[in-house]
Structure 1
Amino acid sequence: METVALALGGVLVPACAAVVALAIALRRARQRHERALGERGWLLEREREAAAHAAVGEERARIARELHDIVSHNVSVMIVQAGAAREVLATMPEEAAAALAAVERAGRDTMTELRHLLGLLAPDAGGADGNSDLAPQPTLARLTPLVDRIAFAGLPVEVRVSGEPRPLPAGIDVTAYRIVQEALTNALKHGTGGKAEVTIRYAAHALRVEVLTTGPSVLTGGAPPPAGDGAGRGLTGLRERIAVYGGDLDARRRLGGGYRVRARLPLDAS
């Protein structure tokens, strides 16, 4: 009996020691893995913050260029109309008054844009002189070509307009276009045979823009769009742009599949 006990002891002791050594090794490996995950998470967070800051800077530079175009256009109108009014002031007072009214409207529009944007935007670090893009700034009036391009690329788009359409401040008009453009571009990038609905609503004191897209549903096992694909930078830029005008943006995944982008842009009562 003693011989058997000694034999068992000779087997169990090394086995227990091996188990303890294995447990220690597994614990150390798990600790190293957790530290590696923590370091990777920290690096990813820093990368996301850097990407967000870069998106804000790029959007501000683009807004600055658009502001330059808007103000230059309005000042040009003021110069032309003021010259016309001076020419006919003595002989055609009614036409002169109409020209001066146009000068006043252009001046008010310019001051509105300056009030919203001046002092907020940093200069373009790239040193661009603003003359590289002489095309008119995109507005809701140019929404149809955008929708046609998106539809031709494979994403059907339906556009609805509610309320009474009316002239918008130039900066808000451009911003509304950018909201639709970003939402449709993201939908086209991530969509799988879906469609999009764009709603522009002219309310009493605000312009509301909503873009609904369809796509794979997380409730039915559909794979969501991959994270970190650059769409977040676009939304960050939109929030920066919309915040300039005191508006707000809500962008989220829909439970039934796809995304919803909803924005409100306040309009000054006049």
Structure 2
Amino acid sequence: MRWMEAVGPLPRPGWRALLLDAALAAVLGLICFQTATDDVSVPRPPVLPLGLPEVAKAPGSAFGALILVFVMCAPLALRRRYPLAVLWATMAASSLVLVTGGADQPDLYPCVVLACLVGVYSAAAHSPYRFAALATVPLAAVLVTVLRELMLITVPADYLPFVLLAPLVAAAGGYHVWRRRLGEDRQRLAAEARAQEHALRDAVAGERARIARELHDVVTHHVSVMVIQSGAARAVLGTEPEQAREALLAVEGTGRSALTELRTVMGLLAETASDGPEEPQPGLDAVPELVARMREAGVPVRLTVAGEQRPVTSGIGLAAYRVVQEALTNMVRHAPGAAATVVVEYTPQALRVEVGNTAARSPAAAGRTGGRGLIGLRERLALYGGTLRTGALPGDGYRVEALIPLEAA
């Protein structure tokens, strides 16, 4: 039925809210108990209408007072968990109390009205069944009027306007609270959506930066080496064709290596998995091959591995490899003819990678240098808690040193 459609799930109050509701029900029940056991001067009629049982018995009856407290106030302990059911139960219990005991105990009217007001407010403020909760209030007012006309309940004329209007005011207040909470929920959901969107944009930007770093490291290194090799081949092409042929073969090998690494990096952009196995990313075990490739290109490089070697994660291995690759690439571009020394040192706490080079023997080609490679290295090392230090050496050389923490063995 449409009038029983919910606009959301039932509320899930925390244990603090449940304790507060239980305390409210207990306080209201204590008030009703005290009121029901007070002596009254109005005599009780011998026969109740429609043969209804006596719930609130003679004045001073503790048993009737306990039943009164239970049927009218106990449901209020769950007013936020099951607000609509509590409203109906409270109204039904209040009607029973008025029919069976309201004639000789008029002091019960404020307690009955207060219990109903709490139920009405709770349903209007917390129930997801909006139409049923709001429609119950005017229907209850009509029911009270009909029962009073049929002489089934006795509501003094002084109380009647309050009994009819107070629930409407409580419903309006509860509806206002529900609308305000709904607006706050919408604002919270919108803020969460914006935060999720920002996080997604940041993740995309981070992924783009990571791919840009990979492309920079691969392209600049291999292209720089190929430039050196092709230049050497050009220099000896007329006089030493065999040596020129070896240089061109080295260019071809460097180009193939570059294509392999580029395919690996570009595979990061693929949305679906490739059909064949992907080439693994280089690590520390690929440093000797990198040094050998530089030597074949005519760059004097010496590799030293110190300390007790132990396995490292693929991410740390790739970061260390990129440090060596970027440092050697920068040396080729900015210090032509220089010699390099690569040191890979394993310590109990960290992995140290140092690349130093001597002064350039010939002037570097003029061109724009953006420094993107070193910035990318710092960001890459920062992911693993590492640091990068760069600076000039005595004698116009240059040094790049990376320190990456390792877990204790």
**TM-score, normalised via structure 2 length:** 0.33
Query: Of Structure 1 and Structure 2, which has the larger fraction of its residues in strand?
Result: 1
TM-score normalised by structure 1 residue count: 0.49
